[in-house]
Amino acid sequence: MTANRTTLRVALLVAPILLSLLITAVLVLAVGKDPIEVMTAILEGAFRNSNAIAGVVNFWIPLTFACLGLVITFTAGLWNIGVEGQMMMGAVFASWAARTIVLPTPLLIPIEIVLAMAGGAFWGVLVGVLRVRLGVNEIFGGVALNALASVIVIYLISGPWQPPEGGSAQSTPPFPAESLLPEMSPEFPVSLLALVLALVIILTVYFALRGTRWGLNLKATGKNPRSALLLGVPTTQTALSAFIVCGAIAGIGGAYRVLFTFDSLRPLPSGGIGFLGLLVVLMVANHPLIAPIVGFVFATILAGSTRLRVVLQLDQSLAEVLQGFVVLLVLMANGLRGRILSSPRSSPEVVQEQPAPTTVTSAAEAASHE
């Protein structure tokens, strides 16, 4: 029985990826190109030299922060669509510190990171308060706060933080050099501090969800908030803490974008990374160790796709087509797996092994009975 379950899980994980590659290959053949040449071009674009690899890593780092934050809220059964706004507010708070505080780099960088976490956590707790106190679904509250964060960024760029030569909606003036994250080397321009911080947070989230009471409360709230409340789990506080921690982690990703990728504040500094993180976390069913791996695959595809136009005269949106098929088919496979594992024929042991559901049901629905 165990062997059959393992085979099923592997098949439902591998089959969607292979099927998405097959569908993309058919599309490539339809336009008269060789699918093998396309994949080769993508890999060459991502790994052709150290600078190209650095580009993949620089996209992967903020994506990983977004994914890890979302793992926490999804574990609590909360659809934190507002992660984009939390990244943007992290970027705003870090930008304020970069523009305002004059300190040596070793002192200024930690302040920027802490303020970015505070900005993201503040925007996250707003979504949580709207949910648990006012009954506003976190999807709607998150979308509204995303739009508000974007408006705030544009206002700052074109208003108080505009360049000296006049109003501009493109970006703020470059930040002082001492406020920026240092790179490893010109040949490999990646922030070692951010890379280490990402690895530390990966392990922290993993062990927090597996070995702490808070992690158990998150899982209980996400599984069944009403039952969790009856068992003494503080569902309201648990939901709010999930939003706060997610926002804080996502805020670091926003800080990385403005303190390293751009060296300034630009419109939509999150770059859609938060939404991509949502798809990644859905694909991996909230596994904090697998999410960074899948995120690296997506970063490779997106970074390497720039090579398609140069080498094969294909639009780089082909990589987005591949990404879309992978996400769609993996989600369908996850749904199929959930139906199979929860069927009456499944043993209790199998049902217990299925991942935490990522439904819109939140702890707030139970918290109203406290």
How would you write the pLDDT of the chain (370 residues) with one tens digit per residue?
Answer: 566 666 766 676 677 777 777 877 787 787 677 778 777 878 888 888 999 999 999 999 999 999 999 999 999 999 999 999 999 999 999 999 999 999 999 999 999 999 999 999 999 999 999 998 898 999 999 999 999 999 999 999 988 998 877 656 788 999 999 999 999 999 999 999 999 999 999 999 999 999 899 999 999 999 988 888 888 899 999 999 999 999 999 999 999 999 999 999 999 999 889 988 998 898 888 889 999 998 998 898 888 777 666 565 566 666 667 767 777 777 777 777 667 766 655 443 333 333 444 343 433 343 333 4
Task: List, in sequence order, every beta strand (DSSP E) within 211-250.
Answer: none
Domains of the chain: 2-367 (1.10.3470)
Give Cβ neighbours of residue 10 (< 8 Å, ≥ 6 apart): none
CA distance 370 to 69: 27
CB 323, CB 298: distance < 8 Å: yes
Contacts of 21 by beta carbon, 8 Å cutoff, 6+ apart? 322
d(CA 113, CA 180): 11
- pLDDT given for residue 2 in this prediction: 60
Question: What b/e string do you get for 149-187 counting C-beta neighbours within 10 Å, with b at 16 or more?
Answer: bbeebeebbbeebbeeeeeeeebbeebeebbbbeeeeee
Residue pair 83/70 in contact (Cβ under 8 Å)? The answer is yes
Please report, as a single letter, which amino acid is at residue 292.
Answer: P
Please tell me whether the overall predicted TM-score, pTM, comes out greater than 0.95 for this model: no
Under 8 Å CB-to-CB from 319, ≥6 apart: which residues?
42, 301, 302, 304, 305, 308
